[in-house]
């Protein structure tokens, strides 16, 4: 069975405990959540949970079906890379003395990252982009000491106006 990264968008009523119920459902079905983002939509009563997971078509359809059965669920749909805009945010603190700053700055410029903090011994870079772009910059920074980093996880919206994206 082929296992692919899949991105699900789950629109839910904005109630306490909804995120825990959705995450528990994934856990009970043996799905690992690779990334998870949650925020209100343009309607404060509705939140969007974006889940990145790995699974076969059959298993993904099963988890979608089970998630749709939750009373707080408004709509669940899969977002395809070809028909969606996907972004992730990275903050990364890199050890960089005065002699290394120029090279780290050059990497940041190539990836269109922003330097958001500079201290005598480190730099914090901010990058927004597709997960592959984030991975690429982290790889390029591999020859420097990454002190710490934080990734938001994928957030995504389908392109255009499609029936499955309206509620």
Same structural domain, 89 and 73 = no
Question: What per-residue confidence (pLDDT) applies to 167?
Answer: 47
Chain center to CA of 104: 24
Confidence (pTM) = 0.82
87 is written with which tokens? 């972004």
d(CA 52, CA 36): 6
Within 8 A by CB and 6+ apart from 166, the residues are none
Position 127 in a domain: yes
Q: DSSP readout, 27-71?
A: HHTT--EEEEEEEE-SSTTEEEEEEEEEE-HHHHHHHHHHHHTST
Domain boundary among 57, 79, 101: 79
Domain boundary among 79, 111, 130: 79
Same structural domain, 60 and 119 = no
Within 8 A by CB and 6+ apart from 98, the residues are 120
40-94 pLDDT, tens digit per residue, is 999 999 999 999 988 788 888 888 999 999 999 999 999 988 899 999 999 999 9
Domain residues for the domain of 131 are 85-155
Instruction: Work out how many domains the chain is built from and give that number.
Output: 2
Position 24 in a domain: yes
């Amino acid at each position: 069975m082929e296992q692919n990264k899949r991105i699900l968008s789950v629109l839910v009523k904005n109630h306490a405990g909804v995120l825990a119920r959705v995450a528990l459902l994934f856990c009970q079905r043996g799905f690992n959540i690779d990334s998870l983002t949650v925020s209100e939509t343009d309607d404060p009563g509705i939140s969007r949970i974006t889940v990145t997971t790995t699974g076969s078509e059959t298993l993904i359809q099963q988890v979608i079906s089970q998630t749709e059965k939750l009373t707080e669920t408004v709509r669940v749909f899969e977002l395809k890379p070809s028909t969606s805009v996907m972004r992730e945010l990275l903050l990364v603190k890199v050890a960089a003395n005065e002699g290394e700053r120029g090279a780290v700055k050059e990497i940041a410029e190539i990836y269109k990252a922003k330097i958001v903090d500079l201290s005598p011994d480190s730099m914090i870079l901010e990058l927004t982009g597709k997960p592959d772009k984030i991975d690429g910059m982290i790889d390029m920074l591999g020859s420097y000491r990454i002190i710490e980093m934080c990734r938001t996880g994928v957030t995504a919206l389908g392109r255009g106006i499609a029936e499955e994206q309206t509620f």
